[in-house]
Every structure is written in structure tokens, then in C-alpha cells.
Amino acid sequence: MARELWKGNEAIAEAAVRAGCQAYFGYPITPQTELLEYMSRRMPELGRAFVQAESELGAVNMVYGAACTGVRVMSSSSSPGVSLMMEGISYIAGTEVPAVLVDVMRGGPGLGNIAPAQADYNQIVHGGGHGDYYPIVLAPASVQEAVDLTVLAFDLAEKYRSVTVVLLDGSLGQMMEPAEMPPMQPLKKEFPAWATRGAENRERRMLSSIYLNPPDQEVTNLRLLRRWKEVEANEVRFKTYYLEDAEYVVMGFGSAGRVALSAVRAARAEGIKVGLLRPITVSPFPVQAVDAAVRQCKAGLVVEMNAGQMLEDVLRVNNNRIPFEFFARMGGIVPFPDEILAEIRRLAQGKASLEGHPRDRWLERVAAQA
Amino acid sequence: MQTDIIIAGFGGQGVLFAGQLLAYAGLGEGKEVTWIPSYGPEMRGGTANCTVIIADEEIGSPMVRNPQAVIAMNRPSLDKYEPLMRPGGLLVVNASMVDRKVKRTDLRVVEVPANEIAESLGDKRMTNMVLLGSLIANLPIIQLTSIETALKEHLPERHHRLLPQNYQALAKGAELLAA
């Protein structure tokens, strides 16, 4: 396949089709709507299921039902719509069926706005639904990566009977970049032993998230946890840039990570030995890669388009070994590279601190500028 | 090496399509490209702009604060982007829609009566092609022929009879060089 120019939202939709997605259920919301719109045309064209549900609640429960049949199924939404899906996500996780969800994040909380943001990190990564469950969360930073990770999301969801979320922000959904599409996979013809597809000539199967007897629920939760340990051991993904000889490290996921890349290049041009660590799986979090960067570097900077949600995961790994600083834009504003470059210069000037919390120091800097 | 370009104007002037052509042309030449529109609760007649980045390595930030090149298709776009441009940058102004001169003296400026040129070629809707032609002639990162190829590949088949006129619009624009 040749590289073609794709809009992020549409690229994800086509990648899902090629990954063998047999059913899509969704409800329109900006800045994700092109994904649903593309599916509304493409899925019926291939004789596959597309339903625009009456709401996000309807959509996620249709996903739940389809997932129980063992087919590849997905939904997509944006922040407020994803909030509405959380009950269903927890049920899907508790039933141990595979499903893919795409969250094209926008400014919030509340109705917020339709501009790009990364403020669903905590909700998605640390579980917005109730109970002990662990979603796999993939955070692309380019249209090509969004394509590749969408395909991977289906594979991982199936392999670990897990909810897998592709987490991106509105700018990536709206931008166009070259991408090479994967080959078209055939639809699944064989289904796992748990799938409920009609019980003619065999014993009845039962899928549920109800374990009224607490010891049965505990056994289930232990199974989920052990499965998660496998995910942690095998599925961590990240990308590093200019990190080999770096004395300072910048960390950011998705769009914040790629904006930071421009800042890191500019800092390198000034002679500052700085590198970038961009988590691709934000869940499982790349703990060992963060740890290695902490061992190597004098100071670090976390950049996000939220109030420092991934920051807490980084600080947990750092455990107060090296000073970290924090920089963010919020509410639908994407940082420019020069803002991050100014923060990198501060690191290089030895201004990073181990006193107090990086978020508090950032807030003080913001207040001083106002 | 990275070149960043902002194309701005009123909704309906072909701002987003001109940017896409640039991105398609860059892709056709094997370069890395990013096209990102301003998006919001837009309406017809409102402002529209897009940022196109053409590079030979993985592109970082998809948006730029201080662009190297700007096509300003109307007065609000000129007012917004003239102060933001990088010194030495290329500013292509649609003189038909702008009633003032460029103030900065550290830019390369091309003032193009693009509406009139497009009308003389038969269709005012080709204003964006005239301006794009001028941009390419003054910013030699993309071949004009790559734009023509992109136009042929991405203009819907039913409009292909308009291709020669559009090529002419690009060529007319390309005759206008920065002082």
C-alpha cells in the first residue's frame, strides 16, 4: 500500500475496518464525528453492522452485546460521551470480553468545548468505571501511529479479553497526515470457547459480570489482576528521541509529546543535551523506561494538555530521585514549542527543584506571568 | 529542514483545499507533511485557516506560532498573521481583498490582485489557485508540477474540465515574484 493523506478520525475508522471490525456502534460528537460518519458509509458497504445508537449508553451496551459473540467490535466518542459509557466499560471489563473504544479528547470538564485536550487520562487510564479493572490504553501522536495502534488495539483486546482504548486528542482527529493502511484482514470465522453464538447441540454458555457469591468475584478479580500482570510484562510501548546522551528528559504522550519533540530539537540546536520519552502505552505505563531516564538524567520535565495527570505516574516512578518540573496548557489549548523550550532552558539552568510539588511550582510560574 | 505555511481567509475562499493541495504535493514528492485546520463552531463567511508543515523528518508540533510563510486572503488574516511572521518570511497577500499596505519591512511580500486575475481567467473561485501559484514560485520547496498533479488527482472527476483553467491560474500567480 502506498502512503496516502488521511484525516486522523477517518484513518482510524478505515484501520478498524481493515483489522476486521465487524460491528460499530456510536453516537456523534465533535471532534470525533468524522469517524462515525466514515463508518456509517463503509460498514454497510461491506455488509457489516453499523448502528447510530440513541445515545452513548445505548452504543456501549450494543458493543457489550456484540463483544459477547466474539466478533471484533468498537465504538468511538469524545470526552463527555465517553463519560456516559463508563458503566458499560466496567461491565465489559467484568465480563472479560474484548472491545475497542476510541476517545478523541476535547476540552472539559463538563460540556467544555470541542478543542483538543488530554484531560481524560485519569478517567481512561485509572478506570472511570467502577471496580478493579485495567484497560489497555494506546496513545498515538501521529495519524500513522493512530492507524497502527487501532489495529493493535483489536489484537490486544482479544489476546487479553480486555477493554482497549485508543486515546488521542481532537487535533490528531482533525489533522491530515500521510499514512499507509494495513492490508484488509478477513472477518473472523472461528470464535473463542466463551463466545455466546447460539447453543444448538452443545452445552449452554453464560457470560455475565454478576458474581453474587463474593468468593467467586474475588477469584475473578485475581484472574483479571494476573492477566494484567501479563499485559504489564509484555505490552509496554514507548518511543525515545535524542535520549542516548541526554542530561535532561522531557516526557509527554500524544500531541503534547510531539509538540515537545519540536522543543527538544530547538533546545538541541542551542546545545542543551535533552531527550524525549513519549509513552505509547499509557497503560501499561512504561515504568522501566521512565526509571532508566531518571537514572540517566539530572532533571526532567513533564508536558501535558491537562493539569498533570500523567505527571503523578511519572513522579511515582521517580520517587523523588531527580527534580521534575511540569508544564501544561489546559481547557482546549495546545502548547506551542517555544513555551516548552523555555521550560527546557530552565532545566538546563539548574532551576528544577526537589522542593514541594512540580504542579504547585508551575502554578506559581503561571501566576507570576499573569 | 522544515517549512511551515499558514493559509487564512474567509470560509468559502478555498483556504482548506489550497492547504490540502500543498500537503498532497509534498506527499507526492516523498516529504513528511501535516495539514491541520482551525476547527470550531464555524459558519459560512467566518474566518478559516489551516497550517501546512512540509519537512524531511518526523514532524513535531503540528501548529506554529511564528510561520515562515503566510497566504492572507483577506484583511483580518493579514492583520492577524503579519505581526506573527518570522523575520525574512514570505507573505502572499490577496490585494483584491486588502485595503492596506504591509507594514513590516523585514518580510518578502507579494501583493497579488488574485480576485481580478481569477476573474480574467473565467472564475473567481480560482483565487486560491492564483495565490498558491505565487506562494510556490517564491518558496521553492515544492515543484509547481507537483501541485498540478495533486490537483488532477484530488479534484473530483466531474470537475476535470476545469483543470486547464486552474493550471493557468497557478501559472499566472507564479509570475508574480517578491520584490
Query: Which is it for strands A299-304 and A324-328: parallel, antiparallel or unpaired?
Result: parallel
* Site from B31, B54, B61, B146 to mutate, A interface, most A CB atoms within 10 angstroms: B61
**Domain edges within chain B:** 2-174
Quote the minimal CA–CA distance from A267 to chain B in Å. 13
What local confidence, expressed as pLDDT, does residue B44 receive? 64
pLDDT range class, residue B41, cuts 50, 70, 90? low
The CATH class of the A4-234 domain is alpha beta
Q: How long a stretch of residues is chain B? A: 179
pLDDT tens figures, B91-120: 999 999 999 999 999 999 999 999 999 999
- What was the pLDDT predicted at B42? 61
Distance of CA A307 to the CA centre of its chain: 17
Stretches in chain A below the pLDDT threshold 50: none
- Do the domains A239-369 and A4-234 match in fold? yes
For residue B45, the model assigns a pLDDT of: 67
CB-nearest partner of A5 from B24, B40, B63: B24
Whether the CB-CB separation of A118 and A254 falls below 8 Å is answered with yes
* Bridge partners of residue A105, in order along the sequence: A169
Average pLDDT score over residue span B42-59: 87
Contacts of B60 (CB under 8 A, 6+ apart): A258, A259, A260, A261, A262, A263, A264, A265, A337
Q: What is the ipTM of this complex?
A: 0.94
Chain-chain contact of B60 with A334 (C-beta, under 8 angstroms) = no
Tens of pLDDT, residues A154-199: 999 999 999 999 999 999 999 999 999 999 999 999 999 999 999 9
> Cis ω on the peptide bond leading into residue B67 (within 30° of 0)?
no
What residues of chain A, 200 to 229, have a C-beta less than 8 Å from chain B?
Answer: none
Please enumerate in sequence order all residues whose Cβ is within 8 A of that of B168, keeping only pairs 6 or more positions apart, or say none: B121
Helix axes B144-154, B127-138, angle to 10 degrees: 150
CA pseudo-torsion sign A101, A9, B156, B13 = positive
Is domain A239-369 classified as CATH 3.40.50.920? Answer: yes
Tell me if chain B has a CB within 8 Å of the CB of A261.
yes
Q: Among residues A313, A201, A293, which one has the least CA distance to residue A249? A: A293
The CATH number given to B2-174 is 3.40.920.10
pLDDT at B11: 84
Collect all residues of chain A within an 8 Å Cβ-Cβ radius of residue B40.
114-115
Note whether B35 contacts A334, CB cutoff 8 Å.
no
Provide the grid cell at A362.
508551575
Q: Where are the domains of chain A?
A: 4-234, 239-369
How does DSSP classify residue A48?
-
pLDDT given at position A134: 96
Distance CA B127, CA B169 (A): 8
Distance CA A264, CA A282 (A): 21
